Structure formats: structure tokens, C-alpha cells
Structure 1
Amino acid sequence: MREIIFDTETTGFDPKNGDRMVEIGCIEMVNRVLTGRSYHAYFNPERSMPAEAEAVHGLSDAFLSDKPLFASCAQEFLDFIEDSPMIAHNASFDFNFINHELTLCSHPIVDRSRMVDTVALAKVRHPGAKLSLDALCSRYGIDRSHRTKHGALLDAELLAQVYVELRGGRQIGLELMAEVNEIVVETKVLARRDRPFRQPRPHAATEAELMRHAEFLTSVDAPLWGE
């Protein structure tokens, strides 16, 4: 199964207030294994970058000034994601921005039925625990020492590892191993069926053995079973 793990960086929290997407990072995963294919781009938001947002991801007005508009990259983005499920941390936030940008340039939006939210998955798996990406990386022993600031592609790479853990680890690989074991067991059963039939061996004590046993019991002093 093909899935897309992704993350975005923005100028703020709400596209309805004029905030725009400035970075997106997408990673392809097939059967919960990274394929090495990715899509990554920065965008000129056509507005200034608030200091609070820049402090989070480090993307300045100067850096973004020569980057393309999302509209010029929208089709490339859509071609990459195809119709695959889209996995993100707090996914509704990212979907809001992606669909806002797609609407601005008259492209069809991404249906929310494709959305998978790893925050929701983590709430079920770890109720009451901290659910930030950093906290989940710590829980699963995922190295994030190189993450000094938020970055869409970097965060998607970390999230891909978290997502596999939230789904139970390499379950697809384990399921394949189970199928192999089932085939091996079935082969062994068939092999036993091919063996020649043997009459069951007698397992009851003979009359002579019972007499010897009774004689032995009479020689036991103060037996426990006699109390």
C-alpha cells in the first residue's frame, strides 16, 4: 500500500486570516517502508513573515523572496501524491493550508477522507501521554538531534518513523513471516500424513507389573498415602 507522509511550514496558524504555506515536504512509503522518493519545495507567500513564525522554522522573507509561487508547483505536487492516503501530525492543520493554496490557484482540493492524523493514532495508543512529535520520537528512541528548527521534509522523515511505530512496527513484514510459517507447518503436516500407519503401542501396566508394584508398596514404612 502506498502512503504519503508529509508536513508543512506556514506563516501562521490560519489561512482564513491570510496565512500562507511556505514549505512542504512529502515522503513516499510503500508497505510502511520508505522508497526514497520525496517531494520538497519552498514557496513565496507573497506576504511578510511574522517574527514568531520565523523563530519556529527559520524561513525569512529574504530566503523566500526568490522561491516560486505555489500555483506554479501545484500540479507537480498533485502528481506526486496521486490518490494515496496522506499522513501528517495534527493533519487537519496541514490539510487546511494545502486545500487553501489549491483553491487559490483553481485546483481540486485533497479529499479529507484521505487524511490520517498521527495525533489521533497516538491518543489511542498512548492515552494521557504527551503527543508532540518530539515526545513521540523520545518514546520510540528516534534520533532527532539534528532537528534544531522545524522543517517540513525533516519533520516528515521523523514522522515516518513514528507512524510505523504507531501502526505496530513492521507489521506487514511480520504478517509475511506468519504466512511463511503457516506454509512450513502445513508442509510438515502433509509430510506426516505420508508416513506409513503404525498400530498404537500398549501403554497399560501388565498383571506382573501390577503385582511387583503392590509388593513394593508393602515395603514402604509409614507411607504418606496411609495417613
Structure 2
Amino acid sequence: MRQIVLDTETTGLSAETGDRIIEIGCVELVARKLTGNNRHYYLNPERDSHEDALKVHGISNEFLRDKPKFAQVHEELLEYLAGAEVIIHNAAFDVGFLNKELELLGKPPITTFVGQVTDTLAMAKELYPGKRNSLDALCDRLEVDNSGRTLHGALLDAELLADVYINMTRGQDALLIDVSPGETVGGIVTRVDLTQFTLPVLLANEHEAAAHEEVLQQLDKASGGKTLWRIARGASQPVA
């Protein structure tokens, strides 16, 4: 499934009392890799931003005056998001605003158009209970460089969140092998089907087993003792 990391900036905190979206940033992942097929919109919200919101995003009301309205970009946005897993930090906030914008156009909620919505804030709270789990805090914890983030911006925040998400879910890479870039048919890269081979079983030596255990211990620390490898094997002790 395609994954789209999405973030918005808004005129304030409440879609229900009239606040609107002013910026949308989307970053595409395919096979957990950045594709560069991103989307970025500045939008005319037809109202001014609250003073507190201006301090967060720094996008002036004057800058937005000549930008398109959500109604003018929504079809392109929905086509881009169609069927994808949409990854959002504190998803209830952004989804609430997207749903309100769609409601004003007589459209159904955003979940009607996408495959699913994943909330990285909920994921982080489960992984790091009792800790700060803002985007900045996660960048610091997972060593994602956010030095360029002096103000909130939808596209920059989506790019940072993509890195954070990949780090939080490391170990979930698909076991597929790409052939060389030249071996394509009609522009589609062929992948090797390992089921056609009889593969030898190579047991880990002492050094490799120790390195594996060190990685598991790092995962234990990062996940609060919820390493899926240990759980799947029913192993509470180091893997031999």
C-alpha cells in the first residue's frame, strides 16, 4: 500500500468554530522509501489566522490572499490520497479539519477516500509511555535532524514525520530483492521471487548471534520491552 505522510497548518485550533486549513503538505512513501512524489498547497482560508496561530506557522494573512481555496484543489488532493494509508501526527486534529473542509463542499469524510489513517502520536504514546511525544521530541529521541524547523510548516513537518515514522517502525521492511535498474519491463522494476530457489540454511556464528542480541536489546529499550521478535518466539531470554 502507498503511504502518504500528511500535515496541515490552520488559522486556529477549532474547525467546528470556523477555523480553516491554510497549508497542506504530503510526502509519499512506497515500500517505506521516499519517492519524491509529494504535494504542497497554500490555501486561502477566507478568514484571518488567530494571533497565536500566526506565531506557530508564521504564514501571514496577506500571503494567503491570492492562494487557491480548498474547493479548487480538493479533487486533485483526493485523487492523490485515494486508497493510500495516510500517516498523521495527532490525526484527530488534521482529520477533523479535512472533514470540515469536505463537509462544506458536500463531500463525505476523508476516510471514505483513503485506505486507512495511522496516528503516529498514538503509536508514540504506546512505544514511549509517560514521555513527551511531540514531533520535535520524537525527532530528538530518534535522531532525526529538525534543525531547520524554526516555525511549523506542513511540508517540512510531513518530511520530518516520514523520517520519524520509518525510525519508529524499523524492522518492518519487506523481504524483497530488487534486480538491477536496467532489468525492467515497460518501466516496471521486476522483483525476484525467492520461492523459485532452494536456499541453504546458514546458522549464525557466535559473533553474529551476539550482534543480533545487541540489536534486540536496543529494540527492547526503544519499545519499552515490546520487541516483536521476542514476542513472536515467546522468548523472554536472549535468542541463542
TM-score tier by shorter-chain length is: 0.7 to 0.9
CA distance in 1, matches of 2:11, 2:116: 25
Q: What SS does the aligned partner of 2:26 have?
A: strand
Query: Following superposition, which runs of at least 4 residues in structure 1 exceed 4 angstroms of deviation?
Result: 173-176, 179-185
Q: Does 1:90 align with 2:95?
A: no
Show CA shifts across 1:194-217 (max 9, x none): xxxxxxxxxxxxxxxxxxxxxxxx
Show CA shifts across 1:153-191 (max 9, x none): 000000000011111256335999xx99999883469xx
CA distance in 2, matches of 1:164, 1:180: 25
Q: Larger Cα Rg: Structure 1 or Structure 2? A: 1
Gaps of 5+ in 2: 179-191, 203-240
Show CA shifts across 1:106-148 (max 9, x none): 2332117711100111111112221000010001111111111
Count of paired positions? 187
CA distance in 2, matches of 1:173, 1:65: 49
Q: Which residue pairs with 1:138 in the alignment?
A: 140
Aligned residue identity for 1:127: P
* 1:55-74 → structure 2 map (5 Å cutoff): 55-74=55-74
Structure number with the higher helix fraction is: 1
Provide the TM-score with structure 2 as the length reference: 0.71
Gaps of 5+ in 1: 190-227
Q: Residues 183 and 165 of structure 1: is their aligned pair in 2 closer, same or farther, counting only changes over 3 Å?
A: farther
Q: Which residue pairs with 1:159 in the alignment?
A: 161
Aligned residue identity for 1:147: R
* 1:89-128 → structure 2 map (5 Å cutoff): 89-111=89-111, 114-128=116-130
CA distance in 1, matches of 2:131, 2:49: 33
2:199 counterpart (177, 186, 189): 186
Provide the TM-score with structure 1 as the length reference: 0.75
Identity among equivalent positions (%) equals 47
2:40·2:155 contact (CA, 8 Å) conserved in 1?
yes
CA distance in 1, matches of 2:137, 2:200: 46
Q: Residues 37 and 97 of structure 1: is their aligned pair in 2 closer, same or farther, counting only changes over 3 Å?
A: same
Q: Does 1:40 align with 2:53?
A: no
Q: Which residue pairs with 1:17 in the alignment?
A: 17
